[in-house]
Amino acid sequence: MSSQTYSISDLSRELDITTRAIRFYEEQGLLSPERRGLERIYSARDKVSLKLILRGKRIGFSLAECRELIELYDPTSGNLKQLHSMLAKIAERRAQLEQQLLDIQQMQLELDTAEERCEQALAATLNNQKNSH
């Protein structure tokens, strides 16, 4: 683990995230910078955690799930627990997305049926109006 440190603006710039978001993750206990007066000093571990949070958010993980993964971070073990947990969460997320996709496809079929019925009713109404004149 490198002993490199980062300011909040370094991380903000490098990871394209607002300083407000970084402070929020700190408030949530996901980051733990050192303090030098009012200045926050972030470690390489904080940077890894932040990258994990951002990646997790992109694939739909909750902050609680991100926290679990961060807590499992252990470079001395090659991050085996973290990697296994990540794979399990990815499989779970994939299953959720597949179910959502099926739900969306079912809803599209329902919309197609409703649209078809409306169009038939409209055509019948217009036809009846035409015939009654």
Q: Mean pLDDT per segment of 10 residues, for the chain of length 133 residues?
A: 83 96 94 92 93 92 90 81 89 94 97 97 92 80
- Report pLDDT for 1: 46
- Report pLDDT for 27: 94
* pTM, rounded to two decimals: 0.69
Q: Which residues pair with 41 in a beta bridge?
A: 34
H/E stretch holding 39 reads: strand 39-43
Q: 114 Cβ partners below 8 Å, 6+ apart?
A: none
